[in-house]
Structure 1
Amino acid sequence: MFVDTAKIYVKGGDGGDGLISFRREKYVPEGGPAGGDGGKGGDVIFRVDEGLRTLMDFRYQRHFKAQRGEKGKNKSRHGANAENMVVRIPPGTVVVDDDSGEVLADLTRHGQQVVVARGGRGGRGNIRFATPNNPAPELAENGEEGQERYITLELKVMADVGLVGFPSVGKSTLLSVVSAAKPKIGAYHFTTITPNLGVVDVGEGRSFVMADLPGLIEGAHEGVGLGHEFLRHVERTRVIVHVVDMAGSEGRDPFEDWQKINDELKLYNEQLSERPQIVAANKMDMPEAQENLERFSEQVRELRPDIEIMPISSLTRQGVQELLYRTADILEQIPEETAVEEVAEVEERKVYKLDKKEDDSFRIVRDNDVYVVESAKIERMMKRMQLNSHDAILKLARTLRHMGVDDALRQRGAEDGTIVRIGDFEFEFVEGSSYY
C-alpha cells in the first residue's frame, strides 16, 4: 500500500528539574548549596532515509515523544541531557505545521534532517541562586516543557520522469513495457490510484526513474477526482511525458485531452507549464490514429512549437525505444534536481523578550470572589519555580510587588484573605506583608 500523507503528534522532552541540596560533610561546616541543574530534554528530529519509499510507518505510530532530561543531582552534579529522538522519513517529504500551515522543511536528500520539536531546558539547581544575602537558598527551578505540535507529512514521489494523462490512455502499460515495474493494468478508469515507480534502463549506461502517476481529470487542481493526490507528485519530476490516446478511444479528442491536462498542471503550479514535456502519442497501432496524429501535431505546434511529439504504441512497442532515448537526452541537459524549497530549520525556541513594558503587562479580572491575575510572564515563572519552599514564595512575592500587581489588587478592592489566582495556583492576599 502506498501512503503519501500522514498527520502525527510530536513533543520534545521536558527539561529535568533542578535540585535543592546542601553539602553535608563532617568537616565542612556551613557547606552551602550543592543542588545541580537538570538536563535538557531530547529533540524530535526528522531525518531522510533513502531506503524508505512511503509514509506507511506513520499509519501505526502517530505519537512521537522524546525523553525528558535527568533531574539535577547532589554534590553540584548536573543531570544528563536526554538523547534526541530521530524519526526516519522518505526522501521527498514536506513537513508542515498542522495548525499554522507553515512549511517547516522540504527534505529531498539522504541524511537531511530538521528539528521539529525542541526539548525543554533543564531547571537550575539551588547553587545558581546563592547570593551574599542568601548564601543557602532553598530555591530551584522545574525543567522547561518541550515543544509540542501536530505535523502533517506530505510525500511527493522522487522520480526523474512523470507519466501524465487522462485515465486509460496507456500510462501503466508503457511503464510495464520499459521497466520491471508491475503496475495494475485494466480496461477501466482509475486502474492506477497510487504512483508506481520503475527504473528504466535505456542502454549505454544510462537509466532514470519513471513514475506512473494516477490519471488526471478536469478540475483536478481543485481536488476533483484524485486531484491534489496526483498533482503533488508531478512537482518533483524533471521531465513530463504526456501520454495521449491518439486513437481517440471513447470518443475523446486527443488535442482537447492534451490541452485540459496542461491547463490543470498550470492552474496547480505555474512552474509545471515550464517543465520539459514530451507528448507520447500512444495507441498508434489503432485505426484512425495516424490521421488524428497529423491533425493533433498541427494544433499543438500553433500553441507550443517547443513540444516534441513522438508516436508510439505500448502494445507493439513501436517508437518506445526512441522515446526513452530522447527522454534520457533531455534529462542530461537539465539540472539533477528540480527546484524545491530550502530546508527551513524550525525556528529557535521563542524567547519572550519583548520590550519591558509589554513583557511586564498584566490584567486583573474578577471571577466571583476570586481575583484572577493574567500575565504570561508570571505564569511562565510559576511553571518553572518549585513553589514548595519559603525562598520560592518570597521570590514570587518580590516579582509581583515590583511589577505593581500588589498595588493593582488593592485598587481593585483586595483585602486580607482575598483569594488570588494565577494560572493553576490559588493563594490568599495578605495586606501589608511582603508575600502572599
Structure 2
Amino acid sequence: MMFLGLPYGTTTPADEHLRWLRRVAQVPVSMAPGDRLSIRVGRASGLLLLGEEEGWAEAALIGDDASTAAERQQIMVGQLNVGHMALIWGRYPEARRALALAAGLADTYQYQKLRGKAQVTLAHLDWLTGDWDGLADRAGSLAGDEELLQPVSRLAPAMVTGLLYAARGDQDRADECLRLVLEQADRHGGAEYSIEPAGALARLRLGAGRIDDVLRLTDEPIRFLEHKGTWIWAAELAPVRAEALLMAGRIDEAGDLVDAFAAGVRDRRAPGPHAALSTCRAILAQHQGDPLGAAELFARAADAWQSLPRPYDALLSRERQAHCLLRADRSDGALSILTETFQGLSTLGARGDAERVMHTLRAAGVGVKRPSWHGGRRSYGDQLSPGSST
C-alpha cells in the first residue's frame, strides 16, 4: 500500500495515490517501532508530495532522534523529505528547520550521504531565499560531487548554478547549464524531476523572446501536472507557461491554466504556489490591457514573494509593477519603485537584472550609479559545474 501511495515515477492520478495512503493508516497491523516509523515517514512524504495538508500533522510525529541506528536513519530520511516538501510548498522556515535537523543528525552519526542530500536542498533553499553569498562555490562543489551524491541529487545544485548565471547576466552560460540540467533530469529522474529545470530554462528563453521554445519546454511538464493533479509542484512552471500562451495569442488556454492552478492549490497553506498564482493573475491583467489593475496585482505578488521570504522574485514583481505604472502614466510612483528595485537587485547580486533596471531609469532621466561587480565564473562546457571561485 505504501508503494502504491508514493507518487514519484508514475503518471497515476493523485487521487489514487491518496486512496492507498489513507488505507495504510486504517490497517490494524501490529508493528515494531522501527517499522511503524518507516510507515509514518512514507505517509508524511507521500501526502505532502500530493499537496495534502494532513501530511504536516503526520510529519510532526516523525521525531528528532532515536535510540537505534535504524530508527535514526528513518528520522533523517523523514526530515529530509519534510524539508524538501516544505521548500516546494514555500514554507521556508519549516524547510530550514527540518534540513538543519537532518544535517545535524547526519553529522553526529556519520551518515555522509544523507548529510550531502541535506546540503543539496539547503543550497536550493538559499537560492530561493536570497542567501547568495558563497552559494556559487557551494552549489558548484555539490554539483560536481560524484563520490557522495547520485546524479539525480546533483541536479538541484547544478540548476542553482545556472540560475545564478542568469541573475548575473551571463545568459549564454545560464542557457547551457540549465539545458544540460534538464537533459539529465529527463535521463535520470521521473517527470517530476524535470518540472523545475524546465521552468527555469523556459523563463530564460522567455526573456529572450523565444516563445516557441517556452511552449515546447513547458508543454509536457504542464500536461503531467494536469493529468496527475499535483498542482502544488507548479509554482516554477505556471507563470512562465501562462505568459508564453498569452504572447502566442492563446488567451483562453492561459486563462484555463491559471484557473486549474488556482483550483489545485486553493485550500492549501502553501505560500509559494499562492505567490506564483498571484503572479499569474497579474500577468493575465497586464495582457488584458489593464495596466493599473496589473500594477496592483504585481504589488500583491511582490508582497507574497517577500513574505516567504523570496526577495529575488519579489523584486522582479516590483519591476513589473513599475512598468505597468509607466504605461498608465504614473511615472513618479514607477520611478520610485524602480529606484528601490535597482538598489535591491544590486545588493542581492543580480547583476543582469540590476543593469536592465538601470537602463530603464537612465532612459527616464534618473541618474543611477553602476555598482562595482565581481567577475563571473568561467564555463564548464558539458560538465555539471564543479567547485570554483567567483
After TM superposition, the score normalised by the length of structure 1 is 0.26
Higher strand share: 1
- Computing the radius of gyration over CA atoms, which structure comes out larger, 1 or 2? 1
Relative contact order higher in (CA < 8 Å, ≥ 6 apart): 2
